[in-house]
Amino acid sequence: MSRSTRMASDSTAPVLVPILGDQLTRNLASLRGRTKDDTVVLMMEVWDEATYVRHHKQKIVLIFSAMRHFAAELEDAGWTVDYVKLDDEDNAGSFTGEVARAIERHDPRLVSVVEAGEWRVREDMEQWADKFACEVEILRDDRFICSQAEFEDWAEDRDALRMEFFYREMRRKTGLLMTDEGKPEGGEWNYDSENRKPPKEGLSAPERPKFEPDEITQACIALVEGRFGDHFGSLEKFRWPVTRDEAEKAADAFFAERIEKFGPYQDAIVAGEDDLFHSMLSTSINLGLLDPLELCQRAEQSYEDGKAPLNSVEGFIRQLIGWREYIRCFYWHQMPHLEKANALNAQRGLPDFYWTGETDMACLADCIRSTRDNAHAHHIQRLMVLGNFALIAGITPREVQDWYLVVYADAYQWVELPNVAAMILYADGGKLASKPYAASGNYINKMSNYCSECTYSPHKKTGEGACPFNPLYWHFMDRHRDRLEKNHRIGRIYSTWDRMDADKRQYYLDSAEAFLDTLTPADRSWARGG
């Protein structure tokens, strides 16, 4: 789509191409077909984006360093780059302000930009045509396989929007793991049932590549420590890839060393083993350094070459062309009301241990430690430990959303919000997930080795020393019975609840209430300033 006001009078004026921090892709739609002699690339580090929530320090370093490296690569390739650093004296502090200043400097005939990934930025971007005295065109982000228009056509007249059926359409569209007859490879669309192995004793994985900060990254670390030193997180272990070359090396290592066991153990959790067999490529993908479709094709080739089993490869591909694509489209389908959704009327403040890590629950403490040290936790830690607790404890969605957006290096609102609001918290009332992902301590005990060293016992259901997940689970199920009893995936659990005598049920509820009373709400300044 495009919008325009009045054309610049000089047809020889350049084209201004703003590139945002998550658009670090050489074949970006706004660069494709442009000539280097009449194009000015604008890149901006702005205060508004660094602080609209108080992002993890590693996240800010990662984005700034990747931007600076990308700008240098463009310049080396012959592009003219106008790069605005955060500490530049006249920095306007916002994308709109910096584009306005760049228009004054370069007098372009056209501003050509790829649509922003987040609602609030795109809303501002849509106003540029009315504010600037040159033509403005906003291009579709075609780095995603599914356009929003395609998704809306698919979603029309569907009572429920389930990723599984969307995923099948993406398989057909891409041809990934499809036979010549149009059937799924191996006869099944989904091998998730083979990908739920608990961790066996001594389970460990090859260490992923870690990249020592170069001069550019070190400058970003110094900047962030100086300007954002009170933000959550540590920079001591910053080793993320910040260039396409580094990201490719990380991908090479995954396909060579870890994809074989990625599938079976993707849901497993081992204390101190922060990465296991996960790809750890999400930061690079979401920055634009790696192409998801290319990664899927590499995974498919691993299967064809006999280097990885079908269940691992299918699981990896499903996360990218299934879940990632679906989540992005669902975000735009549900905005802006998804941000305020609270179908379960959760009102409790986020406990302060989410920021401090000071809790006797070993699972939560370790997940928060990894989050603080690495700006990362894998998807089961996020969903079934950190998210599960927030769900069954009734934590208000907005505070949980802010926390996830702050703490993870791969978190942008388009991917974070649907995952948290709809998947983790069931705040959308079931538009995305077919059931709330609520679980007792038994699940965590089965899928991790946390419980053996914990103060609490997963085998004790109530009272002193009981795993808090146990009474909280039944407390959650009881208070939402009217909504959940008819759910075909979870409703039958109420027959178990009803078979308990009244005193036992009350003991569960009292134990949950006693634990909830011990929680100290976090200061909101952790997430959004003073």
Residue 348 falls inside a structural domain: no
Helix or strand (DSSP H, E) at 41: strand 39-44
Which CATH number fits the domain that encloses residue 261? Answer: 1.25.40.80
**Same-domain status, 213 and 111:** no
User: What pLDDT does 5 receive?
Assistant: 40
Task: Count structural domains, the chain.
Answer: 3
**Same-domain status, 442 and 400:** yes
**Same-domain status, 160 and 304:** yes
Q: Which token pair is 493?
A: 């659990």
Q: In 3D, which of 33, 2, 238 has the Cα closest to residue 128?
A: 2
pLDDT digits (tens, 9 = 90+) for 249-267: 999 999 999 999 999 999 9
Residue with tokens 């830690």: 381
Q: Indicate whether 236 pLDDT > 60.
A: yes
- The pTM is what? 0.95
**Same-domain status, 384 and 507:** yes
CA–CA separation, 281 vs 263, rounded Å? 15
User: What pLDDT does 7 receive?
Assistant: 45
CA–CA separation, 66 vs 86, rounded Å? 14
**Same-domain status, 316 and 194:** yes
Residue 268 falls inside a structural domain: yes
Q: Which token pair is 63?
A: 């984005």
pLDDT band at 529 (very low <50, low <70, confident <90, very high): confident
Q: Which token pair is 405?
A: 């957006």
Residue 345 falls inside a structural domain: no
Considering 282, 316, 340, which residue would you say is the last residue of a domain?
Answer: 340
Which CATH number fits the domain that encloses residue 132? Answer: 3.40.50.620
User: What pLDDT does 43 receive?
Assistant: 98
**Same-domain status, 190 and 76:** no
**Same-domain status, 252 and 389:** no
Q: In 3D, which of 266, 269, 273 has the Cα closest to residue 308?
A: 266
Report in angstroms the alpha-carbon separations of 283 from 24, 66, 290, 318, 524.
12, 11, 9, 18, 26
**Same-domain status, 332 and 183:** yes
* Residue 24 domain boundaries: 2-139
**Averaged pLDDT for residues 292-304:** 98
pLDDT digits (tens, 9 = 90+) for 469-478: 999 999 999 9
pLDDT digits (tens, 9 = 90+) for 475-524: 999 999 999 999 999 999 999 999 999 999 999 999 999 999 999 999 99
Residue 346 falls inside a structural domain: no
pLDDT digits (tens, 9 = 90+) for 23-51: 999 999 999 999 999 999 999 999 999 99
Pairing of strands 110-114, 80-84: unpaired
Residue 188 falls inside a structural domain: yes
**Same-domain status, 326 and 362:** no
Residue 480 falls inside a structural domain: yes
Task: Quote the distance between the C-alpha of residue 458 and its chain's center.
Answer: 29
DSSP code per residue over 174-238: H-TTB-TTS-BGGG-S--GGGS-PPPPTT---PPPP-----HHHHHHHHHHHHHSTTSSS--TT-
**Same-domain status, 230 and 320:** yes
**Same-domain status, 397 and 472:** yes
Q: Indicate whether 3 pLDDT > 80.
A: no
**Averaged pLDDT for residues 209-218:** 97
- The CA dihedral of 415, 419, 420, 422, to the nearest 10 degrees, is 130
Residue 347 falls inside a structural domain: no
Considering 72, 107, 139, which residue would you say is the last residue of a domain?
Answer: 139
**Averaged pLDDT for residues 322-336:** 97
pLDDT band at 10 (very low <50, low <70, confident <90, very high): low
**Averaged pLDDT for residues 67-82:** 98
User: What pLDDT does 159 receive?
Assistant: 81
**Same-domain status, 317 and 362:** no
Which CATH number fits the domain that encloses residue 407? Answer: 1.10.579.10
pLDDT band at 4 (very low <50, low <70, confident <90, very high): very low
User: What pLDDT does 290 receive?
Assistant: 98
Residue 364 falls inside a structural domain: yes
Considering 313, 340, 367, which residue would you say is the last residue of a domain?
Answer: 340
3-state secondary structure of 310: helix
